[in-house]
Amino acid sequence: MKKLTSISIIVLFTYLAMVIVNGLANALPINGMNTGAISDSYPNLFAPAGITFIVWGVIYFLLAGHTAYQLGLSRKKGEEVKTALLTEVGTLFAISSLANVGWIFSWHYKVIPLSMLFMLVILVCLALITIRINKEKLTANEKVFIRLPFSVYFGWITVATIANATVLLVSLLGSNVNLLGISEVAWTIAILLIGLAIGAYTTFKNRDIPYGLVIVWAYIGILIKHLLAQPDGFNSQYPAVIVTVIISLVVLVATIVFTQLKAKK
């Protein structure tokens, strides 16, 4: 239990560091630009509408619940403590929180390759957390305070990693991405389908509905961005991308429904 207590304290401080730095990134803002403005400075067709990013509020709220659970504040009286699980999850979560802080600074100072590296660290940590959690039979309380926060966080970071990779591509090749003679629209469609494949597969494999719903939310954000009039959106200039996003949403929702039905059986 002593080891768990030390990990819990580390989780608390790294979580607070992540939230504070992310808050200051937009309040100050760091390097004179807020996080969204940095994204807008690398225009690409995969970027979602600004409203989509309210998911971060949900993520931080759920992760606060997990942090409280680590500290024993959200546990039911007499609830058995899965020390090994919380220690492993807490360690990976702390690493991901520090990587999140590193991502903010590298992103705001436009060191995009380094931001990509930090994003990959976060993604790997969340993937490992998911694998570890799935090995356990969880109680209802544990599903709320252990599994749910990381399902939502993992879902968003899956999309954010693809978005970060897109920005990296734009930063290296310029806004008119034309790699190997393939147009920006074609690349965007390919990226959307890759995200669809990853999202649908992970949702079904892990039977993780919250994860899938976050992917759906991200794709809705991309659709909104394409339908919005300029300067906030693309004013329906790319119908092929819009059709791809709609098809992706249909497949994702179908996957979620099928996963839910199978879970009930």
Task: List b or e across 15-28, with b for residues whose CB sees 16 or more CB atoms inside 10 angstroms.
Answer: beebbebbeebeee
CA distance 226 to 243: 11
CA distance 108 to 34: 8
Number of domains in the chain: 1
Q: Given this model, what pLDDT does residue 176 score?
A: 59
CA distance 205 to 221: 25
Q: Given this model, what pLDDT does residue 175 score?
A: 58
Using CA atoms, how far residue 134 sits from 36, 89, 151, 193, in Å, is 34, 12, 11, 26
Query: 17 phi and psi, to 5 degrees?
Result: -60, -45
Q: Given this model, what pLDDT does residue 3 score?
A: 57
Q: Given this model, what pLDDT does residue 24 score?
A: 96
Strands (E), 87-217: none
Amino acid identity of residue 235, one-letter, is: N
Range of the domain at 118: 2-264
Q: Per-block average pLDDT, block size 10, for the chain (265 residues)? A: 77 98 94 90 91 96 97 80 94 98 97 98 98 95 97 98 93 68 87 98 97 98 95 93 98 97 80
Helix/strand/coil for 137 = coil
